[in-house]
Amino acid sequence: MKISALQTAGTPGDVHANLRALDAACARAATRGSRLLITPEMFLTGYNIGERVHELAATDLLSPVREIARNHRLALVVGLPEREHGACYNAAVFVGPDGQVLGRHRKTHLFGQLDRTSFTPGDRLTSLVDYEGVRIALLICYDVEFPETVRAAAVAGADLVAVPTAQMEPYAFVADHLLRVRAWENQLYVAYVNHDGAEGDLRYVGRSCLVAPSGEVLDRAEHGDSLLSATVDPHVVARARHANPYLVDRRVDLYTDEPVGRRAPHATRDAKDSSC
């Protein structure tokens, strides 16, 4: 299955402008034969927009996304805020080509004060969607920096991990190095789809990438608005796991969870803290 990924600065706080950008990206992705388009984290509203995010989360953001998916007969993973029972979540929603919502993930690992003051954490390590013969796991940005999340996706049989992202300076090394490791150690595809440019006091690093189970970068964008594309093949995943049996060779009898309440010193990382 061919997939595409949209790296863009977007238009913070302007849902209609971002919907127009989504529609245009879908048209380009469809001409390439893609069956899935993945957007950055909080793409539809913007990420660093303060209290405005709560106002927009209370509106109907999904209906126009579903219409765009239907019009282009293309599946979408779109980053947006969601409200439920008074809580606001940083979410990624999987919409099928018929406009039906097939799955969603709510960011579980909240990053810095921006996330913690705006959102409630989700309660699942990852969320899975089966689409056209490919098992797709959803994570959001900081989630992928924890090995447990991608390993959980791999153990659940994921072929692809889709990661809408809002990665900012000074953490370019995550995009440059970590994603290839995650793909290799779990023998699956990783789609890391970032913002670029500036939003408020944040400077995004771009560097979106589509990575194969071998760790090979199939497509990448440094900076600027870009549409990446690559093919995801479950047979490649199966062969890679047979040749490099990390999942089979795990010693799960030796693995234990860290006790609740125990934290490493200086464990809180903030977007403005460049000392990490």
Active-site annotation, residues = 41, 107, 141
In whole angstroms, give the CA distance from residue 73 to residue 218: 24
Query: Which residue type is seen at 82?
Result: E
In whole angstroms, give the CA distance from residue 269 to residue 65: 33
Sign of the C-alpha dihedral computed for residues 212, 151, 69 and 236 taken in this order: positive
B/e letters for 75-100, b = 16+ CB within 10 Å, e = fewer, are bbbbbbbbbeeeebbbbbbbbbbebe
Phi, psi (5° rounding) for residue 5? Answer: -135, 135
Q: Which two tokens stand for residue 169?
A: 């300076």
* Residues 109, 146 contacting (CB under 8 angstroms): yes
In whole angstroms, give the CA distance from residue 12 to residue 93: 19
In whole angstroms, give the CA distance from residue 25 to residue 249: 41
Number of C-beta neighbours around residue 52 at 10 A: 13
In whole angstroms, give the CA distance from residue 275 to residue 268: 11
Helix (H) or strand (E) run with residue 23 in it = helix 15-31
